[in-house]
Every structure is written in structure tokens, then in C-alpha cells.
Structure 1
Amino acid sequence: MNILILDNYYNGFLQSFYSCHPEVKKQNFEENRSSIMSQRFGTSDAYSHNLKKLGHDAQEIITNDDYLQIKWAHENGIKPLPLPLPRYLNYGLNYILDYDWRYKIIKAQVEKIKPDVLYIQEYNILSDGFIAKLKPLVKLIVGQVASPIPIHRSYKYYDLILTSFPHFVERFRKKGIKSEYFRLAFDERILKEVNLFDPKYEVTFIGGISKAHRHGKELINEVSNHLPIELFGYGKNALDPLSIAYKHHHGEVWGLEMYKILAQSRITLNRHVDIAENYANNMRLFEATGMGACLVTDWKENLHTLFEPEKEVVTYRCADELVEKVTYLLENDKECQKIARAGQKRTLKEHTYQNRMKELLEILDEYI
């Protein structure tokens, strides 16, 4: 089976990557793609790496990496190539006119690679109309959704939607869209790529602060007044500059730098985006435990299907309980380490991308 994965990266990461690595601009497409994948942002090439190990052809395309996509276009004779537009114009043209200058390149890539399965990681720059144009070129179009659903998207041209939100499965099915539950995972290669450190931080939180994290923002502000917590991620300016949380916020970290901080954390906190509702799903569950930190996460009704609460991860239902449990762990290091080891063992046994790709292939075989 030939699987082409269309991914979308945070603009903040892309800007940081090209600013810190100006040398990649001289690289060809394959070299540049390898360089950016080596940073381990998001799922990087974990899907294609493990699908190849299982005997299939697979590769990732970063649809909104303009530097990389233009390189592919030049190397493959795509002419004439429209000039890149400012981000706000791209969004407006996409939303209003179903146009994006990058679509020409993506369509050419699909035509050249000839995948059996087009696997689209949402939230993406692709519109419903453009996905419809790609449909005749492949046997199966699959979307993976773990983010808010834009009001202007219908997803009606997908053959299948996979989601790590259990409650989204039924919502898509009610719209007449085939959907299956598909969990996220941990890329165990990172353990060999990041040196394991003695804990540098007693407590950390790595994550975004935005409108989508309204309850999480309130929580972080509250617990920062009571715990020795260091904060990392985007959205620092959304915090009160006079707050303790703001003073202990170190800004954005991406990819391997994020994993290094998790490896240096005795305890790390997790909270889900508001749309997760009462379900555990996010990548931090697996990233934190995979790197060996003791994970303290918000209680969700399905969490027990992923980890054993209070033995492999620690749960909380409110700010007071979070402060109480983290304080206990800080005072009882042996118990903290025991939970961290158990969580890591569970992740490395069950929640790796090698396991997930086996599950993915079973699903695809049912639908292709």
C-alpha cells in the first residue's frame, strides 16, 4: 500500500526552524524535509517510518511549509508558480474563494506519487472543494481530526475520518461520514535522540494558552500561585504580566527542545483543550510518560483505557486537588518515581507509533 500523509505544522515552529537553521535553505527538497523531520515536531515522520518498517510505501508532505513546497515545485518543473501570499490573504482566499496558491503544488505531488491512500492530518490548509478535486486521484481519502471543527468545513469528501476524540466518532457518523476511533502515540526513537537528564525542574507545564484553552488558562494561573512550576509554550502574552505564571513562563519550545524539558521534569502537568470535553486524548499523555516524567493530568472518563490512574499517571479534577497531589509527590519522591516508571513502561509497551501503525493498517484494509 502506498500512503501519502499531508500534514500541517504550526507557523510558530516553522518560523523558529528556518530562523535557527538558515543553512537548510541551500538544501534540496529531500535534505530539507529530512532536516525538519529530525526536529521531531508533532508526529514528524513517525507514520511513514513505521509504515515502511511494516512493508508499505509512505511519506509526509508539510502542506504549509512554503520554503519546502516551492523547492519541490522547482525540482519537479511546476510552472508557472504563483507568488506566495501573506498569511492573512491565503486564509481569506481559501475561506471565501476556495483558492490557495499552494494547491497546485499539492495536486502535482499527489499525481506524481500516486498514493493508494491520501491521509490528511487536520487542521490543514486544504478546503472541502480542493479535497473533492483530489478524490479521483486516489483510492481512499482519510482525515485525522483532533482539533476544533471549522464551521466552513463539511468533511463530506472524506471516505473516512479517524479521531482520537471518542465523542467525535458518533458526531461524524450522524453526518453520514464514516468514522473510527484512533489513538495518538509516542515516537520511541526520541529516547535515543535526547540525552536522559537528572530532573532539573520540579514541576513543568508545556502547552498552549489560547481561547481554546480557556479553562486550562484559569487552572495554570491558579496553581502557579502554589507550586514551583515552570511554564513553556505559546501564548505567554495571554497571561497577566503581573502574575506569577507570566514570570515563570519561558516562551515557546518545539520538538526535541520540548522533549528535553520533559526529560528534565520530575513532574509535568497536562490539561486537555476544552473541546475534548470529558475524554482524554492529547499527545502530551504519551510524550510525557514516554520521556519518563511523572504525569499529572486532568481526570477523564476514558483515561483508564489508556493508563491506570494513580499508578501509571496521577489525576486531578480541580485546582485544589492538583495542588494537593503535586505537593504530595514532591514530598514523596520514591512514589513519584514509581509512577513515572510505570507510566513510561505502559507507553513503551502499548502507546508507540509502531503499534499504532499496525492498528491503522487494519482500519485501512477494511475501507480501501
Structure 2
Amino acid sequence: MDAGKGIVAMRLFQNCGLTPSYVTHLNRLTPSGMTFAERHQAFLDDRFGALHFLKPVMDKDEAAFLACGNDERMQRLWARENGLPDKSSLEQILLAQIEHHRTEILYNLDPVRFPSSFVRTLPGCVRKTLCWRAAPSGQADLTAYGAVLGNFPSILESWRKKGCGAEWFAPAIDPVMNAYGHGERPIDVLFVGGYSRHHSARAKVLEHIAVLAHKLQIVYCLDASRLTRLAESYIGRLLPLQKHRRPPAIAKIARPPVFGRQLYELIGQSKIVLNGAIDMAGPDRGNMRCFEAIGCGALLLSDEGNYPTGLRDEETMLTYESAESCVRQIERCLSNWGNVQGIAEDGRRLIGDDYSKDRQWSLFQAIVARL
């Protein structure tokens, strides 16, 4: 039996972390009274984070399992249904799930919450451990993982300097994206993402584009930080929090965040999807929004930097170097949409091939075989 087939036969356990805003969204999708299986299935159907989920999970392979380790409601449903004490911690529940599943390969998408101290408590059935981390993580200790995966080379190198094994890996296009973006695209520019003190460069670009809202259809779906929400509240306006408030041009058009299939639908209605790295990302680029935009057929317009293979300026996407150049790119694209639309179409075709779930899974197997 070759290494690839042997790995496929192993029992794979993925753990993901949900953002607070997404948990609120999932709670709206799943009323109280649901079973663990019902909430779990609703989450999978919604596709949040699906670009990171490996093929056996997506295919519902009986040897694969996906947990949402920080989703209190879902995890406690599993705990009650499997006889765990009500006072069990989320870490204890996750460990129980891994043991119940008889996991051999653990792939953790939330390693800062479950770092080396968690890995050292894993049951003996777990043979290999990997995690995904493509962002600076302070003093987080991930050295107990067999490999830290990510698609930002500079951040991978920083993990190596901390004593971690590190391997290049990437998101993959969600196959259901093929169903989106084949009709009219009434939205000229879409931005979906966070807005906080870590986004100063991004905020400048967003403000420049927002002033075009009087003549273009611009949609911003912003997940504002808790401090920004406080600063913009009635009470917050009485406090010295001016620097945390969004500029009027942005606040005027801001909508609540969207997730999962709602995000796919919105991208599918947009000509241009605007993207910008967070201030801590360094020179590397290729966050999940890049793959979501291209996968749903929109034209990705993102800031200059070092992108993964296949994401090429003027071929599968467009880039900008400043807020002013971003405005110029948008005006150029919309005045010549018939000419630049082909870039979006080429991006969807080429990136869909290069970053398919099959290729992602093959690369994962190769990495595991080397551990």
C-alpha cells in the first residue's frame, strides 16, 4: 500500500474555531432544541470556513470528523448526548470527541486556543498532529504540533525560528461556489471583512472608495470590533473614542457582516471584490477572501504583495498600491468592464483548477507522509 492510500485510510479529525459574529449568525440559523447532529449539519451546509475543510470532511467520509471546538452550544450538545458531566470544559469535550472518534490525524484550525499544552494531553490513538496558522500569534506555543501549515512564507519562517515544523499549504475552492455568480452583477464594489485598530491601511482604502457611493453601487459588510461598536453607540459618543469610530463616509454605507452562503451569494452579485491585508500580515498575501472572491467569479482587486502561485496581477486578479491607485483601478474596470471581465473569468477557471479540493487533499497527504 502506498503512502497516500495509507493516509486516506487513517481517521482524520479537524477542529475549527468560529468567530463571535459567526456564532451569532449560526444561532439564528439553528433554533434551540436542535440536536448536535442537526446544528452540526446546519453549520456544514452554511459553508463557513469550507475553504479550509479537507476533502474527506466535505465528502462526509465515515472516517473523518469536524468539530467546532469553541462553539459552546454545539459542543455542549455533544457532551450531553455522550454522557459527559455538565461542568466539562470545552477542552475536555474536544479531547473526548477525539478519543471517541479514535483519531489518528488531528488537523487543528484553531491552535492558539488549543496550543502545545493541549497537544500533550491527546489520547494515544493520535499519531500525527498538524495545525493551520497564517497570522502572527504573539507568544503562542505550537512546537508540540508536528507541523504548522500556512500560505504566508514569511510567517512560516517565523514559526520555524520558534522551533516548529512548518509547511506551505493553502485554502481550496469550495465546489458549491460553482453555483454562484452566473447572472447579473448589480454591485459595483463589494468589501466584506473586519474593521478594527489592526486595519488602519485597509480603512484608508475603504474611506477613499466609500466617497464614490454617490455614483457607484458600493456595499461594505463590516464586522466592526467591540470597541468600534461602543465608540459609535449613543453612550460611546460621549466618551473620548473618536479614533475608534468609522469615518462618516464608511459608516453611512456600512451593513452588518455576512457569512457562508450569504457571502457567496453577495460575491456572485458583485463585479469587483475589494480586499486588503491586515496591518500585521507583512508582505505576503493570499487570505481566504481572495479565494472566495475568485471562486464565485468576481474580479479580485487586492493590495500589492507576494501572492501564491496562480494569483497574478492583470491575469487572474488586479492589484493596487495605494488608496488613490485603488480608486483608479475601480474606475478603469467599470468603464471598461467588457475588457477586464475576462480576468475574472480566467481567475475562476485557473484558480479553480490549481486550488481544487482534490489537490488540497493530495498536498495534505504528502505533508503527513513526511512527518
Aligned partner of 2:132 in structure 1 is 144
Residues 144-183 of structure 1 correspond to what in structure 2 (within 5 A)? 144-151=132-139, 153-183=140-170
CA–CA separation in structure 1 for the residues paired with 2:46 and 2:169: 24
Residue deviations 1:162-203 (CA, integer Å, cap 9, x gap): 1121112222222221111111222022333x4743112011
Cα distance change of structure 1 residues 45 and 67 upon mapping to structure 2, 3 Å threshold: farther
CA–CA separation in structure 1 for the residues paired with 2:52 and 2:165: 26
**Scaled by the length of structure 2, what TM-score is found?**
0.86
Cα distance change of structure 1 residues 171 and 246 upon mapping to structure 2, 3 Å threshold: same
Correspondence for 1:111 among 84, 99, 102: 99
- Aligned with 1:134: secondary structure? coil
Deviates more, 1:201-210 or 1:127-136: 127-136
- Aligned with 2:254: secondary structure? coil
- Aligned with 1:27: secondary structure? coil
CA–CA separation in structure 1 for the residues paired with 2:33 and 2:72: 14
CA–CA separation in structure 2 for the residues paired with 1:338 and 1:186: 19
Correspondence for 1:2 among 4, 8, 11: 11
- Aligned with 2:199: secondary structure? helix
**Scaled by the length of structure 1, what TM-score is found?**
0.87
Correspondence for 1:202 among 158, 163, 188: 188
CA–CA separation in structure 1 for the residues paired with 2:62 and 2:148: 21
Cα distance change of structure 1 residues 123 and 218 upon mapping to structure 2, 3 Å threshold: farther
Correspondence for 1:190 among 173, 177, 180: 177
Aligned partner of 2:44 in structure 1 is 37
CA–CA separation in structure 2 for the residues paired with 1:10 and 1:232: 15
Correspondence for 2:297 among 292, 304, 307: 292
Amino acid at match of 2:270: S
**Unpaired stretches in structure 1, ≥5 consecutive residues:** 84-100
CA deviation after TM superposition for structure 1 residue 27, in Å = 2.8
Higher relative contact order (CA 8 A, sep 6+): 2
CA–CA separation in structure 2 for the residues paired with 1:52 and 1:197: 28
CA–CA separation in structure 2 for the residues paired with 1:295 and 1:281: 11
Contact 2:14 2:66 (C-alpha < 8 Å) held by counterparts:
yes
- Aligned with 2:50: secondary structure? coil
CA deviation after TM superposition for structure 1 residue 128, in Å = 3.0
Contact 2:52 2:172 (C-alpha < 8 Å) held by counterparts:
no
Cα distance change of structure 1 residues 118 and 246 upon mapping to structure 2, 3 Å threshold: same
Q: What is the number of equivalent residue pairs in this alignment?
A: 343
CA deviation after TM superposition for structure 1 residue 130, in Å = 2.2
Cα distance change of structure 1 residues 283 and 176 upon mapping to structure 2, 3 Å threshold: same
CA deviation after TM superposition for structure 1 residue 307, in Å = 1.8
Cα distance change of structure 1 residues 335 and 135 upon mapping to structure 2, 3 Å threshold: farther
Correspondence for 1:17 among 26, 34, 41: 26
Identity among equivalent pairs (%): 24
Considering only aligned residues, what root-mean-square deviation do their CA atoms show, in Å?
2.2
Aligned partner of 2:121 in structure 1 is 133
CA–CA separation in structure 2 for the residues paired with 1:177 and 1:204: 37
Correspondence for 1:347 among 344, 347, 351: 351
